[in-house]
Amino acid sequence: GEDVEQSLFLSVREGDSSVINCTYTDSSSTYLYWYKQEPGAGLQLLTYIFSNMDMKQDQRLTVLLNKKDKHLSLRIADTQTGDSAIYFCAELPYNNNDMRFGAGTRLTVKP
């Protein structure tokens, strides 16, 4: 099984906010990432957060980190149809270069 867990599906209407949640298990993880994968493509880094931060905002994206609960979330404001994709949460444990990915959350944006 995977150490990083995500819900598999999320469906929202265009213009609404999307919130994708993730839990991880390694408390030593120094960096946590959100990647986006569109059909037939590789993964593209959206944003990452250092473990000593609890929030990071980048345009429509807001990442929240709760280290105590090992919970990471990605909020997409004003979700567009082009945001439809699979979103992967990933952790990079301290002193270990094996980036571990969740199974991905498939976001569907309905017009």
Partner 1 sequence: EAGVVQSPRYKIIEKKQPVAFWCNPISGHNTLYWYLQNLGQGPELLIRYENEEAVDDSQLPKDRFSAERLKGVDSTLKIQPAELGDSAVYLCASSPNSGTGGGELFFGEGSRLTVL
Could you tell me the smallest distance in angstroms from the CB atom of residue 14 to partner 1?
25
Could you say which residues in the range 17-36 bind partner 1, by CB under 8 A? 30-31
How many residues of this chain interact with partner 1, rule: CB under 8 A?
Answer: 23
CB contact at 8 A, 15 and 104: no
Q: Is residue 23 a contact partner of residue 78, using CB atoms and an 8 Å limit?
A: no
Please report how close the Cβ of residue 21 comes to partner 1 at its closest, in angstroms: 15
Q: Does 48 bind partner 1 (CB under 8 A)?
A: yes
3-state secondary structure of 33: strand
Tell the residue number behind the tokens 């990933």, with chain if given: 90
